[in-house]
Structures are given as C-alpha cells and as structure tokens.
Structure 1
Amino acid sequence: MYATILAELITAVIGTLYYKKYKGTKLKHFILYLWYTAINEIVVGLYLKRYLEIEWGDLLYNLYYIISFIYFLTLFRNYLMIKKNKRVVHTFLITYIILLVINGFYQNYIYELQIIPYIAASSFLVVTIFLYFIEILNSEKVLNVRKNLLFWISIGLLLYHIGNIPFRILRNYYSDITDATVSFLLGVFLTIIMNICFIIGFIWSDKKQLY
C-alpha cells in the first residue's frame, strides 16, 4: 500500500516538473489523472478503508475506475489516425458504459468493486493500445518512438493490465484457489512498474512533445 502510494506521488511530482513538455498536447490532462490517482489512493485506500474501516470506500474506487477507463480510451481514440480504429475504440467506450449500467443491477457499487465492467474495460484498453502500436509501426513516428511520451504511457498501461487481468479474474471467480497475498503483491509490483514507465517517459521524451 505505502509503496504504491509513494510511486504514484513521485510520478505525479515528476509529471508536474516536466509538464511544459506536454502542456500543449492532448496529454495535458494526464497530470490531473496522476494527482487524482495518488490522492484517491491516500484518501480511500489508506485513510477511509484502512484507518476508519469505512465500507463504502469501494464507491470511490469504482468512480476512479470509471474515470480512468473513459479517460484513457478517449485519449487513445483521439490519437488514433485510422477511422476504423477510432470507431472500434468508440464502440469499446459505449460497451463499457452499457456494461456498467447492466452490472449495476447485479452489483452494489457502493460496497462492491465492479467486476465484469472492469475486466471488459481493461481488455478493451489492451486492444486499443495494440491498435495504437500498429499505427505507430506503420508511420514515421516509429523512428523516434522512444522520445514519445504516449509510447511510455502505453507501455506502462499495457504491462499493468496484461498482468492484472488474469489475477482479477481468478480473484473474483476462483477466490478459493487464489492467494490474497500474492494478488496484493502482484498489484503493488505492477503499479510500480507502470509508474516507472511513466517516469521514464517524462524524463526521456523530447523537450517539447509535438503530438
């Protein structure tokens, strides 16, 4: 818990220090997402759930997931150049929202973390990132991809969600064979790796992002 919060705070601080690199791009709101992530984890994960033991903390986590998935799917849709790919991601967004509504009849989002919508949206995001990579590989941007901040953000998100989806499924549907400690440590590890990728992107990317 403390390790993930520290990683998120460090990433938010570094993202703020390098904000001038991407403030004129579609990534300008990414810094707000980073600070929201860190503050949400401190308030909900550390204070409300651990110290006050408030049961409805999952509501704020669910809200965070909704904002996160909609933000990233929208972000990548805006960066994709091929109209067909844009339509695919738009369909993902609509499907996720529909799943949220339908699943709300079976789950109480106040006291339970969303299951099916989360797994679906996480899978959608992985596919979307692959679509973005394919477009990059077929363009001149591939020549300078390591200096592209969105590339490093994509790598971090991809590693996190590819590693997290299987354990999320096991934890929710096969909890009797899933070690809670292993799931927790994996979550911490993946979160740290993701934030390291973000930090590399901030530091290594061009002094001024043009896309």
Structure 2
Amino acid sequence: MSKLFFIGFGLAIMSFLLFLIVRRKVIVKNNGYFVAFLFCMFFFDVLGLTLARYQYNNALYNLLSLVEFNLLFLFYFGISENKVTKKVIIVSIISYGLVYVMSSVYYGVNIFSKKYNTVAPVFGATFIGVVLILYLREFLLTEKILSYKEDVFFWITTGLLLYYIGTIPLTAMLGFMERSIAFDFLYKIQHVLTIIMHSCFLIGMLWSLKKGK
C-alpha cells in the first residue's frame, strides 16, 4: 500500500471520530446518515485489507458501493429544502438500485469474489454528483452563502463533489485495465481525491466549531 493510501485512511478515521464526538454541536439534523457514511468508508477499508489475502475484498467493496450512495442520498434528502432536489434524490435511489441489481446479475457469481462491479459506482457517482450540484445551487441562492466558511454542509458537499466527479472516469477506466504501472497510477489519483475529500470535511468541521464558540 502506498503512503497516499495510509494518509487518506488516517484522515478518514479523523473525520469519523471528530464528527462522532462533536456532531451535535455543528450538525442539527440527519447527521446519523453522514456519520454512518464516514464509518463505512474507513471500516470497509479495514475489512478490505484483511480480506485481500483471501480474494474477497472485491465483494466487500461491491457491498460498500450499495451502502455508501444510499446513505448519502438519505442524508441529502434530509438536509435539502428544495422539492425538485428531493424528487431527484428519490429517482436516484430507485435508479441506482435498479442499476446495482442489474449489473450484479450481469457479472454473476464472480461479484462475490473476484469481480469488482465498476458499473454501479460509476452510475452512483453520477447520480450523487447531480444531487450535490443541485444542493450547491440551493445553497448559493440562500443567505447561507454569506457565511459559507462556517457551514459544514457546504464543505461536506464540496468535498464529496470533488471526490465523486473525479472518480467517475477513474472507476470507468479501472474496469477495463489489467494490473500495471498505469493502473497503480490511477489508484494513486483516487487516493489523492480521498485526501482532498476528507480534508474538506475536517476544514468544515473546524470552521463550524469556531463559529459555535
């Protein structure tokens, strides 16, 4: 594993622990979904490292893609105040569920061991990307923009948007590549995106704590 992976993994743990400890001070509603998302992101990495030697880590990450996107959909359904955004989220949940089931059936039994389902994460990242853009638009049209630095939802959304928009082409390409130097390079880019995402989470949390003092 590269140093970038462990940096991202360390930031993931920090994000989860910090949000868990002070979430009631900075997030008023629906914080449970986001905290659960943070927990899954680092917990599944721990299990993935453990199961890698048994070649079952792909099955684990296939399960993670189902859990992570639905947690984010539910999180944004709770914090959004826009009816259009909420309708888009409902459509996204249904559409992603169908894509996940259909792609899993297509890959067959290999999805439980050797095959990583790259189709579902690409569609999931696209759906959540649309939701994030709609929420940012909603945010920009309110007075919240005047104090965006202290708004943890702004930083969460920014971090997620940078991560998922960046991973769409990476995930799509990884599905058609064999293990090589180029393959490892793409993984390093994904680790950098992970670092950027969790850095945004931590910045948002620290700014929000500063505002609460």
CA distance 1:206–1:5, shift in 2 (3 Å): closer
**Alpha-carbon deviation of 1:58?**
1.5
Q: Which amino acid aligns with 2:105?
A: F
- 1:171–1:178 CA contact under 8 A, matched in 2: no
Q: Which runs of 5+ in 1 are unaligned?
A: none
Q: Which runs of 5+ in 2 are unaligned?
A: none
- 1:156–1:193 CA contact under 8 A, matched in 2: yes
Correspondence list, 1:172-183, <5 A: 172-173=175-176, 179-183=182-186
How many pairs align?
Answer: 205
Correspondence list, 1:112-131, <5 A: 112-131=115-134
Query: Which residue does 2:14 correspond to in 1?
Result: 10
CA distance 1:195–1:69, shift in 2 (3 Å): same
- Pick aligned residue for 1:166 from 165, 169, 182: 169
Cα offsets for 1:21-72 (capped at 9, x unmatched): 246421234223222321221121x2221xxx11222222111111110011
**Alpha-carbon deviation of 1:95?**
0.4
Query: Which residue does 1:32 correspond to in 2?
Result: 36
- 1:21–1:207 CA contact under 8 A, matched in 2: no
Query: Which residue does 1:61 correspond to in 2?
Result: 61
- 1:62–1:113 CA contact under 8 A, matched in 2: yes
Q: What TM-score results when the alignment is normalised by the length of structure 1?
A: 0.88
Q: Distance in 2 between matches of 1:93 and 1:168?
A: 20
Worse-superposed segment, 185-194 or 167-176: 167-176
CA distance 1:208–1:28, shift in 2 (3 Å): farther
Q: Distance in 2 between matches of 1:178 and 1:89?
A: 38
Cα offsets for 1:119-145 (capped at 9, x unmatched): 011011111111001111111222222
Query: Which residue does 1:110 correspond to in 2?
Result: 112
Q: Distance in 1 between matches of 2:172 and 2:134?
A: 24
**Alpha-carbon deviation of 1:149?**
1.0
Q: Does 1:196 align with 2:206?
A: no
Q: Distance in 2 between matches of 1:208 and 1:60?
A: 39
Q: Which amino acid aligns with 1:129?
A: L
Question: Alignment identity in percent?
Answer: 25
Which structure carries more helix by proportion?
2
**Alpha-carbon deviation of 1:206?**
5.2
Q: Does 1:21 align with 2:29?
A: no
Query: Which residue does 1:146 correspond to in 2?
Result: 149
Q: Distance in 2 between matches of 1:85 and 1:157?
A: 17
SS at 2:186's partner residue?
helix
Q: Distance in 2 between matches of 1:130 and 1:24?
A: 22
